[in-house]
């Protein structure tokens, strides 16, 4: 190794020597990296840098390709610069501020005298394409701070000056592409021609440095991908997410609303309440099969109870408080302490166990307004909550039957892809080593005994016991946690709960907290987006709508309506003097599963002409046959999910 050389190595060990000051790109080439032409940056030791960065010491080096997560970040970041470049060309008086990469793309904030219009975005995007195809090199240089300040002052870029003044280093880096120079740490693509797949998505107002006391800026959002194909897939996914957004469908289908009088607390409309109550009815039918007993417990309970349960110490920030008769009371955020009170009444024998208390009680938890969103995170909700009190020997059987309930339920809703996580003992925990070992072994055995694939999340258990979380992937392959099974060694201790074992001695029961759907509100949000508002027949708020061709068929329609309703089906009739096509279209917009058309022919033959949403026109049928067909479809759900 001659003096003035540095050693560059791949993580695998291959190494070569290059002259000191060679660029990262040259080093990769010297290493024989075949795809170096596709690389947009390099990883040098722990840092992603420009391909033009010169190497002054021995390093480990790897190419960064655009389809890796690091590469995507470089692409998106460089595209933000490209956008700023285009904005400055089109609107020279506009000042640039900051432009970070975010989860699904990037944004850049501008000081602009008015909001950008959709037409502006189009012009900016077109110019971005021109600058990209000019394939301008992107060059970095380091300058002393005062020089950078003078540079931006001459350009009238006051925000940049403010940013530089906040940087402690003596030197800052500037990046130049063509006639545009920006302050930045980098790294960037080597030239603008590498930016091939991008799209500006939206505009919004944003305060400088996020503070309402500062000036309002104009933020443009965009995204970029390694290839046009990936961009297209992403944009289609965004469209689909918008189409399925439960907040929008909730409004369009008249299911629920929110009001400023009760922030983040949904009001369910009659149709939303039908879906809500059908979900609970389904769970109740499961409970009948699995030996649960439903209980009803108070909403407002003495603060002393919450001190005893530990919620007051550990969960107070999420609780609402009130007072009555000069007693401090809390509105329940959970049902567990009430169920402990119920268990603790009288003497329990091992023969009484397991005891399974189910409770759909309304819960209130304070959530900061920044994190609430539609039905997915609310302050007022109910869960399909239950607590099982059992002997240690019964844990395996109980958890096993919860798993059976869960899987049956997820099958029913078409959540066929699941991810299951076993959370083990965290650092801070109560209970003996032996107890934890046994509990974790039991949960593992339940999963493995059933051939269930799962992932261990070390230390993710609660301080009071290990748990299993059950997640599903929805139609858009987003992961949601629904069910949970948590063992609890703490509450039976705090509430001094016992049972008398077969030897006549007092023993502590184990408590299991478990939920299948979790919060019903949140589950509804997930389900609405999963099925895009097309509820399965058994859940649809209106299962069928009768539509008449003329007034001549009204009497017949009323009679059919009565028959359908007596059969327990949710039917309604549209007898308005509107065109048939218009009435059918309206029923379709409401995503009603069956539209039953009645004209003179149907009246004469005592039939109806059904249309099934998604399947088109079905053969004309008699009303009893139609009822049989629908009931056959609904029955499994009525039977607690047994097909
Ligand atoms: Zn940059
Ligand atoms: Zn609980």
Distance 182 CA to ligand 1 centre (A): 7
> Residues 545, 551, 553, CA angle at the centre, nearest 5°?
65
Nearest ligand, CA of residue 174? 1
Nearest ligand, CA of residue 486? 2
pLDDT digits (tens, 9 = 90+) for 105-156: 999 999 999 999 999 999 999 999 999 999 999 999 999 999 999 999 999 9
Active-site residues: which are they? 336, 365, 383, 385, 387, 467, 513
Distance 563 CA to ligand 2 centre (A): 44
Residue of 59, 51, 45 lying closest to 78 (CA atoms): 51
Distance 176 CA to ligand 1 centre (A): 10
Nearest ligand, CA of residue 335? 2
Residues (pLDDT < 50) of the chain are none
What does the pLDDT read at residue 75? 96
Distance 355 CA to ligand 2 centre (A): 14
Nearest ligand, CA of residue 389? 2
Distance 81 CA to ligand 1 centre (A): 6
What does the pLDDT read at residue 642? 60
Nearest ligand, CA of residue 181? 1
* Cα separation, 329 vs 313, whole angstroms: 15
Residue 377: phi and psi, rounded to 5, are -145, 105
The reported pTM is 0.79
* Cα separation, 595 vs 613, whole angstroms: 8
Nearest ligand, CA of residue 175? 1
Distance 117 CA to ligand 1 centre (A): 25
What does the pLDDT read at residue 637? 79
> How many CB atoms within 10 Å of residue 311?
20
* Cα separation, 533 vs 614, whole angstroms: 13
Distance 366 CA to ligand 2 centre (A): 17
Q: What is the full DSSP assignment across 495-556? A: TT--EE-TTS-EEPPEEEEEEEEEEHHHHHHHHHHHTTT---TTT-SS-EEEEESSGGGHHH
Distance 327 CA to ligand 2 centre (A): 25
Distance 77 CA to ligand 1 centre (A): 6
Distances (CA, A) of 145 to 97, 98, 319, 460, 612: 17, 18, 50, 46, 70
- Quick one: how far is CA 556 from the chain centroid? 47
Distance 536 CA to ligand 1 centre (A): 49
């Amino acid at each position: 190794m001659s003096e003035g050389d540095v050693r560059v190595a791949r993580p695998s060990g291959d190494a070569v020597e290059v002259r000191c000051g060679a660029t990262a790109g040259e080093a990769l080439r010297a290493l024989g990296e075949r795809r170096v032409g596709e690389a947009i940056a390099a990883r040098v030791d722990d840092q992603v840098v420009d391909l033009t960065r010169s190497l002054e010491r021995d390093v480990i080096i790897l190419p960064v390709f655009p389809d890796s997560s690091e590469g995507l970040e470089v692409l998106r970041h460089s595209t933000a610069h490209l956008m700023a470049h285009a904005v400055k060309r089109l609107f020279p008086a506009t000042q640039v501020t900051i432009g970070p990469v975010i989860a699904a793309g990037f944004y850049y904030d501008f000081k602009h005298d008015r909001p950008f219009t959709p037409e502006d975005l189009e012009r900016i995007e077109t110019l971005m394409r021109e600058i990209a195809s000019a394939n301008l090199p992107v060059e970095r240089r380091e300058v002393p701070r005062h020089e950078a300040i003078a540079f931006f002052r001459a350009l009238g870029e006051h925000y940049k000056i403010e940013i530089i003044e906040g940087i402690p280093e003596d030197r800052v880096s500037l990046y130049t592409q063509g006639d545009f120079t920006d302050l930045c740490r980098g790294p960037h693509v080597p030239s603008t021609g590498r930016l091939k797949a991008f799209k500006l998505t939206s505009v919004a107002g944003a305060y400088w440095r996020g503070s309402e006391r500062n000036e309002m800026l104009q933020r443009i959002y965009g995204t970029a991908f390694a290839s046009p194909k990936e961009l297209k897939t992403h944009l289609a996914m965004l469209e689909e997410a918008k189409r399925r957004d439960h907040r929008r469908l909730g409004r369009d289908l008249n299911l629920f609303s929110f009001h400023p009088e009760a922030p983040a607390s949904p009001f369910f409309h009659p149709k939303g309440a039908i879906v809500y109550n059908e979900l609970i009815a389904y769970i109740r039918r499961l409970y009948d099969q699995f030996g649960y007993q439903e209980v009803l417990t108070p909403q407002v309970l003495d603060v002393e109870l919450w001190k005893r349960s530990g919620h007051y110490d550990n969960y107070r920030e999420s609780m609402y408080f009130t007072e009555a008769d000069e007693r401090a009371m809390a509105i329940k955020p959970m049902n567990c302490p009430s169920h402990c009170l119920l268990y603790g009444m009288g003497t329990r024998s091992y023969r009484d166990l397991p005891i399974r208390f189910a409770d759909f009680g309304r819960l209130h938890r304070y959530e900061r307004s920044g994190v609430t969103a539609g039905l997915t995170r609310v302050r007022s909700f109910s869960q399909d909550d239950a607590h099982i009190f059992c002997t240690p020997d019964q844990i395996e059987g109980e958890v096993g039957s919860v798993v059976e309930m869960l899987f049956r339920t997820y099958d029913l809703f078409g959540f066929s892809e699941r991810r299951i996580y076993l959370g083990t003992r965290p650092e801070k925990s109560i209970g003996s080593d032996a107890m934890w070992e046994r509990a974790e072994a039991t949960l593992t055995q339940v999963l493995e005994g059933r051939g269930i694939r799962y992932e261990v999340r070390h230390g993710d258990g609660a301080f009071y016991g290990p748990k299993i979380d059950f997640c599903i992937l929805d139609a858009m392959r987003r992961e949601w946690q629904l069910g949970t099974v948590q063992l609890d060694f703490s509450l039976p201790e705090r509430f001094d709960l016992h049972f008398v074992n077969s030897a006549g001695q007092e023993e502590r029961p184990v408590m299991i907290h478990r939920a299948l759907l979790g919060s019903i509100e949140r589950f509804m949000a997930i389900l609405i987006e999963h099925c895009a508002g097309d509820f399965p027949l058994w859940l649809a708020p209106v299962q069928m709508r009768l539509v008449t061709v003329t007034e001549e068929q009204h009497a017949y329609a009323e009679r059919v309506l009565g028959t359908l309703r007596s059969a327990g089906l949710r039917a309604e009739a549209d007898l308005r003097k509107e065109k048939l096509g218009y009435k059918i279209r309206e029923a379709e917009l409401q995503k009603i599963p069956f539209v039953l058309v009645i004209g003179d022919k149907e009246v004469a033959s005592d039939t109806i002409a059904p249309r099934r949403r998604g399947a088109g026109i079905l053969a004309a049928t008699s009303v009893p046959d139609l009822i049989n067909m629908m009931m056959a479809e609904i029955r499994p759900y009525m039977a607690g999910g047994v097909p």
